[in-house]
Amino acid sequence: RWGSITHSNTYGYDYKYRHISPGSRQQALPGLFFVYKINPYMLRISEDRESFITFLVNLCAIAGGIFAISGLLDSITFNIQMLTKAKEMLLPTRKFDI
């Protein structure tokens, strides 16, 4: 067995801070109050290790994505180079006589 299983309840907390300035006439104590709320839901948290085959498939997917993106970038740069060469061939060259 590769993983572990933990049973836990969901919980939440909230805090409230009450500041009372020394010159005020409020009849309450200053303080920091914490309120915890435990929900009646039971959670089953499990952690499992993936198989070696899954790891290899994920590795091949990453390599394929890198290959596809590099091919796309190569195609874009090649087309930009071809467009600039075609533009240079179509435009007349200017000669400056000094």
Q: Kindly tell me the number of DSSP H helices and DSSP E strands found in the chain.
A: 1, 2
Ramachandran bin of 70, using left for φ above 0, alpha for ψ from -120 to 50, beta for the remaining angles? alpha
pLDDT in tens, 4-57: 667 776 767 677 777 777 777 766 666 667 777 776 777 677 777 889 999 999
DSSP summary character for residue 12: E
pTM, full prediction: 0.46
pLDDT in tens, 46-76: 777 889 999 999 999 999 999 999 999 999 9
1 has a pLDDT exceeding 50: no
Please tell me which residue, 80 or 3, carries the higher pLDDT value: 80
Identify any residues that bridge with 53 across adjacent strands, giving them in sequence order.
Answer: none
Place of tokens 């839901």: 41
E strand or H helix that includes residue 14: strand 4-18
Non-local CB neighbours of 11 within 8 Å, separated by 6+ positions: 36, 37, 38, 39
